[in-house]
Structure 1
Amino acid sequence: MGALTDDPALREMTFVVIDFEGTTPTRRPPQPIEVAALALTYGATGGWEQVWAYESLMKPPPFAPLTTADTHQTGITAAMLADAPSAADAMAALDAHLAQGPYLLVAHHASIEGNMIYHRQEDCPVLAATDLLDTIPLAKHLLPELENYQLDTLLRHYGVTRPLDRHRAMADVRVTADVFGCLINEADSAERLRTLRALTTVARRRAKANEPVQQDLF
């Protein structure tokens, strides 16, 4: 343990690692076809503890059908989505898990997850109002020598096994959680970031639902 993981604010926080897989319709925002989330706290005895996990496939809307390229990327097939719940139902079920805070979401390239959530905010208002931590700027701050900050590069750097089902939501959540844990250990050992506030200064991404709305000028 170090200064960061001894910070009471970090100990009280629940970190929800989240990932989406989706389709990319022309001239429309990406549409989710799978979501996974893993809620973690840093335990009193040292080390990460799982609080809850959630994953669900989602049936895409007619304007954003699953493509061959989507299946090649994710392994998700049309048959797997045939009986999947709607995005509205799946996201509402995920939102119901966020009953007690405080929470921060954690994602790799968090703007992607943030946009997915923002466009479904009516179905998941608590989730949509939860800020994110992005592992990319955190890694850039702690590991300035890396050639790039793709998730696979960070997996290799930390010796985390690349899962066979990489690009399925829960597989990506679990390895992102591993990388996040490694980055927290890095910050702890080097005492580069000593508090949760310092961590969020480096890596926080405001939830789009929390951003001020620009009013029309008259």
Structure 2
Amino acid sequence: MIDFSQAEQQIQSVTNFQDLVSTPFSRETNAIGWIRNLRGDFAEIVSKIELNENITVIDEKQLRELKLSEQGHIAREIILNDMQLLTAHGAAPVLNVIKYYDRDDDYPFFPTDVYSFHVDSSPVPTDTFLCTYYGVPSDILPNSEAIQKILIPEIRGELKKLYDGEDEGFESFLTENFFDLHYQAKPNTLPISLGLGHIWRLSNSYPESKIPPCVHRAPKEKTERLLLIC
């Protein structure tokens, strides 16, 4: 079971795909999950994929060609159905096996990789969909327990040292380098795991949005991760 007690107003659970895509966000709710208890052996799918890169994309043809056991076949059919549902909705789902993401070491005091709590940004209204079938799932933070890193005095001071320009251009510098998208958990705040097998719809940051974007991060991998995202 997922513990939603830290963010009861932020998270809403649904029982089917139609409700997942049609339930509106609100000022309180910016993460909606189709909560499921899936059957099937998703680990077998990961084990059958040749991993030559840190992130391996699996297309539908490759997935269908895998020779799988009965439980592996069940897992594959679930993934294919999820991809079809999302595609019919107008999304472009991508299935990945992730060994690890590239780390950002350009700014040691302020990493901007996906392991940092962040929000997704888009120039047009859109949402992020994701589902972890195997491996460690993503985390989110209640918005009330997250603080934008550029507002933390010590970090802001380091960013001003990094910035080389006129004062009026500093805010643009923060945006152009995506510093404004990253957040830090307040003291004693525990991240909320999104769990395995559930499809999540997370709000994004985009111009004129009235909904707070969902603060989330990729997990530190303990093994390969099978992730559907769009």
Q: TM-score range by the shorter chain?
A: under 0.3
Bigger relative contact order, structure 1 or 2 (CA pairs below 8 A, ≥6 apart): 2
Computing the radius of gyration over CA atoms, which structure comes out larger, 1 or 2? 2
TM-score (norm 2): 0.25
TM-score (norm 1): 0.26
